[in-house]
Amino acid sequence: MRVTQSMLSNNLLKNLSASYSKLGKYQDQITTGKKVNRPSDDPVIVMKGIGYRAELNKVQQYSRNIGEAYNWLNTTDDALDKIGSALQRARELMVQASTDTVTPEERLQINSELQQLREHIQNLANTKIGNRYIFSGTKTTTPPFENGQFSIDTAADDEKAAFTKPIEIEVFNGISIQINTTPIELFKKIDSMFADIDATIDFKSADELSSYLNDIDSVMDELLSTRADVGARQNRIELMDDRLQSQEIIATKQMSENEDIDYEKSITDLITQESIHRAALSVGSRIIQPTLVDFMR
């Protein structure tokens, strides 16, 4: 077959174009640090990358959910701890009030502090995260106490159940954990106890007042049980968090191995391709037929 000058030129241009494409590909990889920069570079890597990225996004969303769960449970435990401290102080005051040596004036002072503790506990029951009340079930926009009264007592019948409904958040595929606590009945017991003390402390005997110590002990035991439940959920959340961190490391590694370049290899490939390209240019300049001007030199 006769090889013409035109055929030589076309083949040279075709090979140089392919060489330029490879040079551009290696330069893009080194610049971006990625094996592929457009779907056409390698559809298989792109499809795998979509799957790995979706898995990583899911794990990261679960991690954010874990963070919110931590926030709810830690805030809940802190509020319950402060309520426990207030009840402990109330018990100390009732021990003082239950002695025969206390004067009527001292009883009034004790009751004044007790009612301040009652108000303090009401405020703690109205603890919020952002704009959401954490002890109101799914009625997070309504405080448990409003103007010293229980909101559940004034709520419509079809809304009362919402104050005791759980709020759950998904922390892993198919696994949800309740993040709220609904001690509404416990709060009612505590508030009613303080109301009874306020109404009777003036005229009850020391022995009669000592009966309130049993009431305080009872609600404190119930409070401790509630905190134990919160603590158990905190421990479970911590275990799920450790699991998610491991999952995130694995997903990130898989995505990196699929998409990220080996810089040493890519730089070597670029240098090799540059050498091939220069050689192609040199050979091309030799095999292209010289012009008449070249013969006249």
Check whether 154 has a pLDDT greater than 70.
no
pLDDT digits (tens, 9 = 90+) for 138-150: 999 999 888 877 7
Check whether 70 has a pLDDT greater than 90.
yes
- State the CATH number of the domain containing residue 243: 1.20.1330.10
Q: How far apart are CA 8 and CA 14, in angstroms?
A: 10
Taking all residues of the chain, what is their mean pLDDT, rounded to a whole number? 84
pLDDT digits (tens, 9 = 90+) for 229-242: 999 999 999 999 99
* 174 shares its domain with 276: no
Task: With cut-offs at 50, 70 and 90, classify the pLDDT of residue 208.
Answer: confident
Which CA distances in Å does 260 have to 29, 50, 56, 189, 251? 9, 14, 16, 61, 14
Give pLDDT, residue 2. 61
Q: Would 274 be classed as within a structural domain? A: yes
Check whether 292 has a pLDDT greater than 50.
no
Local structure of residue 118 (DSSP, 8 states): H
Which CA distances in Å does 228 have to 91, 125, 181, 221, 225? 21, 18, 11, 11, 5
* 136 shares its domain with 16: no
Task: With cut-offs at 50, 70 and 90, classify the pLDDT of residue 293.
Answer: very low
Q: How far apart are CA 65 and CA 71, in angstroms?
A: 10
Check whether 118 has a pLDDT greater than 90.
yes
Choice among 30-39, 86-95, 173-182, 235-244 with the minimum mean pLDDT: 30-39
* 270 shares its domain with 241: no
Which residue range forms the structural domain that includes residue 285?
A: 5-33+265-296
Check whether 107 has a pLDDT greater than 50.
yes
Q: Would 40 be classed as within a structural domain? A: no
Q: Phi then psi for 168, rounded to 5 degrees?
A: -115, 150
* 108 shares its domain with 178: yes
* 143 shares its domain with 271: no
Check whether 272 has a pLDDT greater than 60.
yes
* 248 shares its domain with 270: no
Percent above pLDDT 70 for the chain = 85
What is the number of alpha carbons within 13 Å of residue 210 lying toward its C-beta? 6
The arithmetic mean of pLDDT across residues 163-182, rounded, is 92
Q: Which two tokens stand for residue 235?
A: 């421990």
Total count of domains within the chain: 2
**Of 284 and 159, which is predicted with more confidence?**
159
Give pLDDT, residue 286. 66
Q: Across 4-8, 65-69, 105-109, which has the greatest mean pLDDT?
A: 65-69
Give pLDDT, residue 8. 62
Check whether 40 has a pLDDT greater than 80.
no
Q: How far apart are CA 150 and CA 126, in angstroms?
A: 11
Q: Which two tokens stand for residue 93?
A: 């005051």
Local structure of residue 236 (DSSP, 8 states): H
CB 179 within 8 A of CB 69: yes
Q: How far apart are CA 224 and CA 230, in angstroms?
A: 10
Q: How far apart are CA 96 and CA 100, in angstroms?
A: 9
Q: Would 126 be classed as within a structural domain? A: yes
Alpha-carbon Rg for the chain, nearest whole angstrom, is 38
Burial (CB count within 10 angstroms: exposed 0-12, middle 13-18, buried 19+), residue 99: exposed
Is residue 282 within a helix (H) or strand (E), and if so which, with residue range? helix 263-287
Q: How far apart are CA 139 and CA 16, in angstroms?
A: 71
Give pLDDT, residue 283. 67
* 238 shares its domain with 208: yes
